[in-house]
Every structure is written in structure tokens, then in C-alpha cells.
């Protein structure tokens, strides 16, 4: 079989082609032949559609965000002394796994070590043994979390930050090369621990490859040598799905933040990373407002209709707890997916290009799921011809058939008047059943260079 050569596409071309609001991190990462996973190894991830992100660490004691150590210039000794107080009471990582399952997530990603250097496992590679196992709690939370995920049937993901504010060499790697080399060694040692000590993780999620808070993960690849780092990961854990934030191109792309998703279907594996709360912080903040249910559902639908995954973050407090309001929102999302999950899980975005704020589609086998976000704006619209005969159209979860017409110019369907006039639901889903499978275009291999 002829091997496909990736087509290089600039960031500007991506914006122009898709007229998209996405902002992918780490475009133009180092390419390493044979390091990327193939479609068959990515299939479970592409089918999963939704994951739960967990930001929890020493910063959770203070409740002012995960950057509090740097933003407030807390003296190193003062901050590190907090580690003796980091001892959550009446807490088990089983609670997080149960919440993820309640939300309908198929995978989790937990912060194992953020930019402050505090490792949530028994890490021999930690500089100065700055870990939960050697301080107040005396616990290995990565081990506990991993076991909880696997018991709950969830795929296991580890977030890891290569950078570490404790090293002056991070801020001046060329002027303090020996100190920077110690930070780099810690990174390699700890990543190797994470991918070997608890069985192979399903996801390795890097963040913070940039140096001195300047440039990007990609522009700092000269220092981290991400090809070498991730070749080591592949040698220990061959099927781990890896994001692009180490400076290597990665197995999928990341769009970070709570901005709306608009534009066309994204022709590469990608993930939207955002918070269930306001997004002003990934770590716990006591008064951080929880996002509206309808808005979160629309975000999920807009991502999945553009062929992406949604990784939704929670920030537990110092005892690993979240508010009842957050937990309630999690259950609401899970309830919606319990009713309409067939239109989300195991689907692909398309075949029709989304119309911003009006509709998008997902599909599987011989079914197209039409997600209508605005029934009024949708009224009278002509959909593209799916290329296969339409057998029937129904509302998702119901058997009552809807009127439709399929002609040379496309497909037109009519919603019941009571549905057409009701704008209370965040998403109305119509199942379009075809006489054969939905036609699919051959997938191209695309590499976004990041050049404008």
C-alpha cells in the first residue's frame, strides 16, 4: 500500500479554509518518522468524544489558581512548606472516577505535576523529593487515580509539565545550562516513571514546554529534544496517545479555552480543552461560576460536529471535593448523554459542513445525526444531498417519522410545529436513516506548520 506523505498546511491556510475560531497550540512541532500513531490505534480516542480533566495540586490549598506560586511570587521555602498541609481528608480518587462516569466521560486526564514542581506520586526522579509521598499526605495519588479509573472502565490520562519554576535555568537556559540540564533530566526521569510504573497510560498530556515564559512549545524543542523524549515513551508504552505540547507534533491537536467553536469540520484529530466553570483558572477557586448547562451542551455538539473531542476540566478543592453545583452540572451532562449519546459516541463529524449557530451533523454507518441548535433559523433550509437514498427521518429517541423531501438539489425536512416553536432545548436531534452507509472521503494526512 502506498504510504501517504503528510500535506503541509500553514496556520493561515487553516483559518482561511475553515473560517474557524480554533487556535491550535504548538503548530509546527518536530516531525519524527514512525512516531505518530496510526488511525487504528487512535480509534478508541476518536470514538470516546468526551473526557474529564482534573487540575489538583498544592495550589488547591490557596484557591487562587494553579499559577499562584509564580503570579504572587511566593518565596520558594514558603510555598514548599505548604506541602506538609496538603493532606486531603475523607477523600478517594474513586469519587472523581464516579463523577467522570456520571458525566458520560470515557477517559480522564489528571495533573500529575504542574509548573510548581510538586509531584502527586512517589517519584524518585523528583528534584529534592518534592512529592506527595514524601510530604504531608504520604500518598501516591497517581497510583490511586489510575486504579480508580481502571475500576470504573475509564481510559487513563496523565498531564505532565516539563517546566519547573524551582529551576533558575528554566528562566535562563542558555546562561544557566547546568541548572537547566537538571530540570531536563527530571522531566525525562519522571515521564519514564509515569509510563512504566502503573502500567501503560492511555494518554500522555504535556503542557508547558516553552522556556522562560516566552515563545512556544515548538520554539523550545531545541532544548527538550521531544523526538528523543517521546521515542522513549513509545519504547515503554507503544500505544499511548500523546498530545503536541512537548514540541513534537503529537497524535492530536489542542484548542484551549472557553471561546466558541465556529467554522468547518477539522480534518485532523483534535481536542477542545476547557473548564466547566468560567475558565479564569484551571485550579480551584471558591467563587468561580459554573457554566450554564445549555452552553456546555452546545459546546460539546459544536466540537463533535467538527470531528473533535471535548476535555472538560474540574478543579477540586484542597480535599479533592467539588461543589454541589459542579456535581449537579456533571449529572445534567451525563443525563443528556444518556438520552442522546448515540448521536455523539462512536460518530464522526459530518458529512454536512456545520452552519454556525444553526446546525451540525455527526454520522455512523447508515445514520446521520442532525443537531439543530436554532430551530427557527433552521426552518425551510435545504440540506446537502447525502449521496444515498434517505429511508426515514425521526427525532432522536422517538419512532415518529418526520416529513422529508429528497431531490436533486438536496434534502428538506419539516419539524413538528411544537418543536419548531420550542427553543428551550439546547439541541434538537434528527436521525436521518439512509439506504446505505454514509459516503466518506478518503482521509488525508495533514501537518499544520504554524507558519502564517
Strand partners, 355: 359
**pLDDT score at 1:** 40
Q: Give the whole-angstrom CA distance, residue 443 versus residue 431.
A: 24
Q: Show the cell assigned to 363.
A: 454520522
Q: Which long-range contacts (CB under 8 A, 24 or more apart) does 230-233 make?
A: 230/32, 230/35, 231/32, 231/35, 232/188, 232/191, 232/192, 233/191, 233/195, 233/204
- For domain 348-434, the CATH architecture is Sandwich (2.60)
**What is the spatial distance between Cα 226 and Cα 223, in angstroms, rounded to a whole number?**
8
Per CATH, the number for 7-343 is 3.20.20.80
- Strand partners for 414: 403
Look up residue 128 and give its DSSP letter: G
Residue 5 has a pLDDT of: 61
Residue the block writes with cell 455538539: 301
- Distances 297 to 59, 307, 344, 356 between C-alpha atoms, Å: 29, 15, 11, 15
End-to-end CA distance of the chain: 34
pTM comes to: 0.95
CB atoms inside a 10 Å sphere around CB 389: 10
CA R_g for the chain: 23
Closest Cα to residue 69, out of 86, 54, 57? 57
**Angle of the 141-151 helix axis to the 94-103 helix axis, nearest 10:** 40
CA 117 to chain centre: 23
Contact criterion met (CB below 8 Å) for 285 and 63: yes
CATH topology agreement for domains 7-343 and 348-434 = no
Residue from 351, 365, 375 nearest 264 by CA: 351
Per DSSP bridges, beta strands 155-160 and 107-113 are parallel
Q: What is the DSSP string of 189-249?
A: HHHHHHHHBTB--SEEEE----BTTBS-TTTTHHHH-HHHHHHHHHHH-TT-EE-STTSB-
pLDDT digits (tens), the chain, 452 positions: 445 566 776 777 677 766 778 889 888 999 999 999 999 999 999 999 999 999 999 999 999 999 999 999 999 999 999 999 999 999 999 999 999 999 999 999 999 999 999 999 999 999 999 999 999 999 999 999 999 999 999 999 999 999 999 999 999 999 999 999 999 999 999 999 999 999 999 999 999 999 999 989 999 999 999 999 999 999 999 999 999 999 999 999 999 999 999 999 999 999 999 999 999 999 999 999 999 999 999 999 999 999 999 999 999 999 999 999 999 999 999 999 999 999 999 999 999 999 999 999 999 999 999 999 999 999 989 999 999 999 999 999 888 899 999 998 999 999 988 887 677 789 999 999 999 999 887 677 788 887 76
Q: How far is CA 276 from CA 244, 311, 314, 442, in A?
A: 23, 10, 6, 35
Domain residue spans of the chain = 7-343, 348-434
Per-residue pLDDT, 10: 77
Amino acid at each position: 500500500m502506498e504510504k501517504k506523505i503528510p500535506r503541509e498546511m500553514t496556520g493561515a491556510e487553516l483559518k482561511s479554509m475553515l473560517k474557524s475560531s480554533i487556535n491550535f497550540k504548538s503548530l509546527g512541532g518536530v516531525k519524527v518518522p514512525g512516531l505518530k500513531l496510526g488511525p487504528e490505534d487512535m480509534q478508541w480516542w476518536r470514538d470516546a468524544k468526551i473526557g474529564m480533566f482534573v487540575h489538583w495540586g498544592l495550589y488547591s490549598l490557596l484557591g487562587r489558581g494553579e499559577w499562584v506560586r509564580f503570579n504572587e511570587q511566593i518565596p520558594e521555602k514558603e510555598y514548599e512548606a505548604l506541602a506538609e498541609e496538603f493532606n486531603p481528608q475523607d477523600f478517594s480518587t474513586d469519587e472523581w472516577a464516579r463523577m467522570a462516569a456520571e458525566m458520560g466521560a470515557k477517559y480522564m486526564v489528571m495533573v500529575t505535576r504542574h509548573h510548581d514542581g510538586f509531584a502527586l506520586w512517589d517519584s524518585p526522579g523528583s528534584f529534592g523529593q518534592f512529592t506527595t509521598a514524601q510530604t504531608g499526605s504520604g500518598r501516591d495519588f497517581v497510583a490511586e487515580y489510575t486504579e480508580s479509573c481502571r475500576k470504573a472502565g475509564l481510559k487513563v490520562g496523565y498531564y505532565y509539565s516539563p517546566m519547573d519554576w524551582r529551576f533558575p535555568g528554566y528562566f535562563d537556559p542558555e546562561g544557566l545550562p547546568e541548572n537547566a540540564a537538571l530540570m531536563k533530566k527530571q522531566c525525562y526521569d519522571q515521564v519514564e516513571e509515569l509510563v512504566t510504573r502503573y502500567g501503560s497510560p492511555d494518554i500522555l498530556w504535556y503542557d508547558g514546554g516553552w522556556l522562560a515564559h516566552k515563545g512556544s512549545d515548538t520554539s523550545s524543542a531545541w532544548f527538550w529534544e521531544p523526538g528523543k523524549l517521546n521515542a522513549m515513551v513509545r519504547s515503554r508504552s507503544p500505544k499511548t496517545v500523546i498530545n503536541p505540547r512537548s514540541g513534537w507534533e503529537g497524535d492530536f491537536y489542542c484548542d484551549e479555552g472557553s471561546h466558541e467553536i465556529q467554522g468547518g469540520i477539522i480534518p485532523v484529530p483534535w481536542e477542545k480543552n476547557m473548564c466547566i466553570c468560567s475558565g479564569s483558572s484551571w485550579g480551584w477557586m471558591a467563587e468561580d461560576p459554573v457554566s450554564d448547562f445549555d452552553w456546555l451542551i452546545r459546546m460539546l455538539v459544536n466540537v463533535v460536529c467538527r470531528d473533535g473531542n471535548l476535555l472538560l476540566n474540574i478543579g477540586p478543592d484542597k480535599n479533592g471535593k467539588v461543589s454541589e453545583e459542579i456535581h449537579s452540572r456533571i449529572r445534567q451532562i451525563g443525563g443528556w448523554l444518556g438520552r442522546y449519546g448515540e448521536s455523539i459516541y462512536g460518530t464522526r463529524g459530518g458529512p454536512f459542513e456545520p452552519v454556525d449557530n444553526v446546525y451540525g451533523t455527526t454520522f455512523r454507518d447508515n445514520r446521520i445525526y442532525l443537531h439543530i441548535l436554532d430551530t427557527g433559523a433552521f426552518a425551510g433550509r435545504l440540506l446537502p444531498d447525502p449521496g444515498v437514498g434517505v429511508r426515514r427521518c425521526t427525532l432522536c429517541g422517538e419512532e415518529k417519522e418526520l416529513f422529508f423531501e429528497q431531490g436533486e438539489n438536496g434534502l428538506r425536512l419539516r419539524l413538528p410545529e411544537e418543536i419548531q416553536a420550542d427553543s428551550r432545548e439546547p439541541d434538537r436531534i434528527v436521525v436521518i436513516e439512509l439506504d446505505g452507509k454514509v459516503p466518506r472521503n478518503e482521509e488525508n494526512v495533514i501537518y499544520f506548520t504554524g507558519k502564517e
